[in-house]
Structure 1
C-alpha cells in the first residue's frame, strides 16, 4: 500500500513539475494571440490561432489549462514561438494544477492510510 501511495504521489508531483517546465518554455520565447476554441472534450481542448507571421496553428495536444472554455469562444493564449504547438490560456500557470493534484493525493492517502493500518494490524 505504501509503495502504491508513493508511486501515485510521485506521479502527482511529476504532473506539477511538467506544467512548470512547459510554463518556463513558453516564457522563454512567448508569443501572444487570440485563439478560437474549436472543440472541447474530456481529454483536450482544441484551439486555432494565428502566429505573428500569419501561420495558423491547431496544436494536436490542445491547450494547457483549458478549464471553463467552450466551443466557439475567443480566448487570449500564450505560445512558444519556437514551437507553437505548446500553447496555454493567457495568464494561467502551473499554479492551476496544484489544487487538483493536491486534492487527488489527499484522497489517495485518505484511502490508502487506513487500508495500510488495517492490513498492518491483521499481520
Structure 2
C-alpha cells in the first residue's frame, strides 16, 4: 500500500513540475507587469466614467434645445441597466425608449412620472428636473475609490520589484568580486620553478651537473683529466 502511495505521489509531483514549467513562462511576465496593469486598469475605469459624463451632458444639451414634457408610466421588466417607460408625445405618438429613461433612480414599475424629452428624438428622455449632475457623484465616487486602491497597491508592488532587482544586482556584484579575488592560472604556472630560478631538470641522471662538477662533493661526477691521471698512477 505504501508503494502505491509513493508512486502516486511521485507522479503527482512530476505533473505539478510540468505544469509549473508550462505556466511560469506565461505567468511571470504578467507578474512583473502587474503594477503597470493595475494603473492602466484604473485609468480605463476613469476614462469610462469621463465618457459617460460627457455623453450625459451632451444628451442633456439636446433635450434642453428641443424640450417637451409628458407624463410617463414605468413599465415592468426594468432592470439595473435600464428603466422602461411609456409616454405619449405632443403629436400623439406612443413612445417606449429601448434604452429606458435617463436618471431613473427610485422609480418603480407602475409609477407615474413626469418626463422631459427631445421633441426631435423622443427616445432621448429624462426624468423631469434631473440632469447629469445626478450621476456625477456616483461616477466620481467610483473613480476615487479605484485610485485609492490602485495607487498604493501599484506602488507597493513596484517597490518590492525594485528592491528585489537591487538585491539580485548586489548578489551578482559580490559573486563577481569573489571570482576576481580567486588565484588565477598565472600563480600556478610558477609552481614548477626552483626557488633560485634554476631549472631542476638541468641535473644529470646521477644528480651531477652537466659540466661534470659534483654538487654534493662526493667526486662521483668528476671526469676531469687531472682526476683520471691520479687514478692511473694509483
- TM-score per shorter chain, which class? over 0.9
Q: 1:12 aligns with which of 49, 63, 69?
A: 49
Runs of 4+ displaced beyond 3 Å:
none
How far off its partner does 1:2 sit? 2.1
The answer to which of 37-46 and 17-26 deviates more is 37-46
Q: Which has the higher contact order (CA 8 A, sep 6+)?
A: 1
Q: Does 1:50 align with 2:88?
A: yes
Structure 1, unaligned stretches of length 5 or more? Answer: none
Give the distance between the partners of 1:14 and 1:31, measured in 2 at CA. Answer: 26
After superposition, the C-alpha distances for 1:30-55 in whole angstroms (9 at most, x for unaligned) are 11001000132111100000000111
Give the distance between the partners of 2:102 and 2:39, measured in 1 at CA. Answer: 31
Q: Does 1:69 align with 2:107?
A: yes
1:86 — aligned with what? 124
Give the distance between the partners of 1:69 and 1:8, measured in 2 at CA. Answer: 27
Structure 2, unaligned stretches of length 5 or more? Answer: 1-37, 162-234
After superposition, the C-alpha distances for 1:55-74 in whole angstroms (9 at most, x for unaligned) are 10000110000000001110
The answer to which of 34-43 and 60-69 deviates more is 34-43
The alignment partner of 2:136 has SS state of helix
Which protein is richer in strand relative to its size? 1
How far off its partner does 1:109 sit? 0.7
How far off its partner does 1:10 sit? 1.2
How far off its partner does 1:111 sit? 1.3
The alignment partner of 1:110 has SS state of helix
Which protein is richer in helix relative to its size? 2
TM-score by length of 2: 0.51
Q: Does 1:38 align with 2:75?
A: yes
TM-score by length of 1: 0.96
